Structure 1
Amino acid sequence: MTHNDLRVRILVVDDDVEILQVLKRFLELDPRIEAVATAETGAEALRVLGKDDRFDVILSDERLPDIRGVQVLAHARHAHPGMVRILFSGYRDQEAAIKGINEARIHQYVEKPVELAELTNRIFDLVERRELDATVNGEIYLNARSMAKSIHRRRQGADPAGKVDT
C-alpha cells in the first residue's frame, strides 16, 4: 500500500485555536486526507470520539485546559485500538512522553514546533505501518486457521494407533 492509496480521517486536539486552524487548513490540502475534525479541549475530543469511530489518527497536544493529552489518547486506545495516536507538545516533557508510551501506547511523540510537511509524512508512515500490521496479522490468522483445519482433518483420518490413512 502506498501513500496514494490511503484516505485518512484525522482528529486534532489543541487548545491553541490558531495552531488548530493552521493544522486543519494544512492537512485538508492533502488529497490523501478525507476529513479533519478538531477539538479545543479533552472533553470535546472525547465527545467527538464517542460520536464518530471512523478516525484513523488522533493528534493531541499534551497540555489541554481540562485534561492531559495522554488521557485523551489513552481513552482513544481503549475505545478505538486501531487508531494511530500521536502526542505533541511545545515543551520538552520527558514525563509526558513516558506516560504517553506506557498509558496510551502512543505511536509517536512530536515536539512543537514541527514542520507541517514532516508531520504529514509521519502521519502517513504510521498509518501505512498500521495497515501493514493489520494485513500481516490477518494473514497469520488465516494461515493458523488453515493449519488447524488441516490438523483436524488428519486426526480424523488417523487410526487409534496414530497412523494416518493415505
Structure 2
Amino acid sequence: MQNKALLVDDVANVLDSFRRNLRGQVAFDVADSGKAALGLMAENHYAVLVTDMTMPDMNGLSLLREVKRLYPDTVRIMLTGNGDQQTAIDAVNEGDVFRFLTKPCSVVELKRVIEAGFHQHSLIMAEKGLLNQTVRGIVSVLAEVLELVNPQAAAHNVQLKMYMLQLARELKLKQSWMLEPVAELSQLGTIVLPGVLADQYETSKLTAAENDLIEQHASLASDLLEKIPRFEAVARNIRYQDKCFNGEGVPADDVKGADIPFGARMLKVVNDFIRARESGLSTVDALRRLETDARWYDGKILSAFTRMLLRKSDLMSVPVSSIEPGMVLSEKIATNAGKQLAREGQVVTTTLKQILTVCIQSGALSPALMIGVYLEDNGDAGNVEDIAV
C-alpha cells in the first residue's frame, strides 16, 4: 500500500500551494481544519500528518494530541509560522512530533521531511509487526507449557478464550492485542501447583491450605508475566481476575469497582460461569448462580454475558460427522450403546474430533446423528472500550 500524507492548514492559499508543488511527487490529501482532518483520518490511512499550528476551533497542538491518541502509528509533523521555543516544546511533549518546521518552508524541504516521515512510519510498522510476532510466540510457548503441566487448566482456557472473544464482541470493545494473552495465560500460575492438587483444582473440596495455594495462582502468573516487556497490563489483568467488584476476594487490597482492570472484570464473570458449569449446573442455572452473587461482578459485563449466552441465533444443528474443532456442544454425545463421549458445553478439540471419527468408522456412532452446537466467535471487536482500562 502506497504511503500517503495528510496536510492541514486553514489558509486556502497554502493548501493551493501544496496541490501545485507536491502533486506527482508524494501522495497526499489536504484538509482546511482539524475537524476535517480527523474526518479524513477516520476513513483513510495516513502514514504522515503535517499540520499548521494556528487554526480556529482546533489548533495544531490539539489536533496532534488527538491524532496521537487515535492513530499513534501516524508520524506527526508540525509546520507553523510560530517558531517560538514554547510552541516547539509543546509540540514535542504533547504531540510527540517527528519534525518541527517553520514557515516559510521550501517545497524541497517539505518533500524531504514528508519522505523521512514515510520512512519512519515504515520502521514503526515493521517493529510493530515484529513485536506482534514475538508476543504471539511467547503466548504460544507459555500456553503449551501449561497444557503439558496442567491439562485441566489448559482445557479450561480453551473455553475461557472462546467466551472472552464472544464477550468482547458483545461489549463492542476496542480491538486489543492483549485480549487473547489475558485469556490464554490467566491459568499460568497453576503450573506451580502439585500434581494432585492441580487435578483437584476447582472440582473437589480443598483443605484450607490447598485453597490458599490455589488463591495464589493469579499472583504467581502476574509476577512471571510482568517481567516480559509490554506485558505489564496483561499481568495486572490476570492478577485481579479473582477480585470481586465489591472489593472482596484476592488480592486482599483496596482495589474495587471500576479500579479493577476491565479484562480482570471480564475474567471474573467468565471463570465463575465455567466453574459453575463444570460443577454440573446447566447454562441457565449457572447464570442464576452468578445473578445471585451479582455484587461480585461488573453489572455491565454480567448483563452482556447473560444476553450473549441466552441468544439462540448462534445455535445450529449439524451431523456429528460434520462437527469441527472450536464448536461448543449444546448437548452431550453418546455412542449407539449409550457410552458418553462428550458432555454438554464441551469445546470440540482436535482430539475429540479424532475420537468421533474413529467411533463413526467402527460403527459405534451414526454419522447422521444430529448434534446441537454453538460456533466459536472470532469476529473483530468494535471501538468502544479497551480492556487495559
When normalised by structure 1's length, the TM-score is: 0.76
Answer yes or no: is the 8 Å Cα contact 1:9–1:54 preserved in 2.
Answer: yes
1:147 Cα deviation (Å)?
Answer: 4.3
Aligned residue in 1 for 2:94: 103
1:155 Cα deviation (Å)?
Answer: 6.3
Flag the 1:43–1:157 CA change in 2: closer, same or farther, 3 A: closer
> Could you tell which deviates more after superposition, 137-146 or 90-99?
137-146
Question: Are positions 1:22 and 2:39 aligned together?
Answer: no
Aligned residue in 2 for 1:115: 106
After TM superposition, list the pairs within 5 Å mapping 1:13-92 onto structure 2. 13-30=8-25, 33-34=26-27, 36-50=28-42, 52-92=43-83
Amino acid at match of 1:113: P
Cα distance between partner residues in 2 of 1:63 and 1:105? 18
Cα distance between partner residues in 2 of 1:94 and 1:55? 28
Answer yes or no: is the 8 Å Cα contact 1:10–1:57 preserved in 2.
Answer: yes
When normalised by structure 2's length, the TM-score is: 0.35
1:39 Cα deviation (Å)?
Answer: 2.0
Cα distance between partner residues in 1 of 2:129 and 2:113? 24
| CA RMSD between the two structures | 2.5
Question: Are positions 1:126 and 2:117 aligned together?
Answer: yes
* 1:60-82 deviation per Cα after TM superposition (whole angstroms, max 9, x unaligned): 11011333111112122222221
Question: Are positions 1:146 and 2:134 aligned together?
Answer: no
Secondary structure of 1:54's aligned partner: coil
Of residues 4, 12, 18, the one that matches 1:9 is 4
Cα distance between partner residues in 1 of 2:127 and 2:58? 36
* 1:91-112 deviation per Cα after TM superposition (whole angstroms, max 9, x unaligned): 2222222221222212211111
In our comparison, the structure showing a higher alpha carbon Rg is 2
Amino acid at match of 1:73: L
Secondary structure of 1:8's aligned partner: coil
Amino acid at match of 1:45: A
1:154 Cα deviation (Å)?
Answer: 5.3
Cα distance between partner residues in 1 of 2:142 and 2:40? 47
Compare the two structures and name the one with the higher strand fraction. 1
Cα distance between partner residues in 1 of 2:7 and 2:143? 49
What are the ranges of 5 or more consecutive residues in structure 1 without an aligned counterpart? Answer: 1-5, 162-166
Secondary structure of 2:4's aligned partner: strand
1:122 Cα deviation (Å)?
Answer: 1.4
Cα distance between partner residues in 1 of 2:148 and 2:38? 55
Answer yes or no: is the 8 Å Cα contact 1:58–1:83 preserved in 2.
Answer: yes
Amino acid at match of 2:36: E
Cα distance between partner residues in 1 of 2:35 and 2:86? 22
Cα distance between partner residues in 1 of 2:19 and 2:147? 60
Cα distance between partner residues in 1 of 2:131 and 2:31? 37
Answer yes or no: is the 8 Å Cα contact 1:14–1:40 preserved in 2.
Answer: yes
What are the ranges of 5 or more consecutive residues in structure 2 without an aligned counterpart? Answer: 150-193, 196-389
* 1:34-61 deviation per Cα after TM superposition (whole angstroms, max 9, x unaligned): 3x222223333333334x2322221111
Amino acid at match of 2:7: V
Identity, in percent, stands at 25
Answer yes or no: is the 8 Å Cα contact 2:75–2:120 preserved in 1.
Answer: no
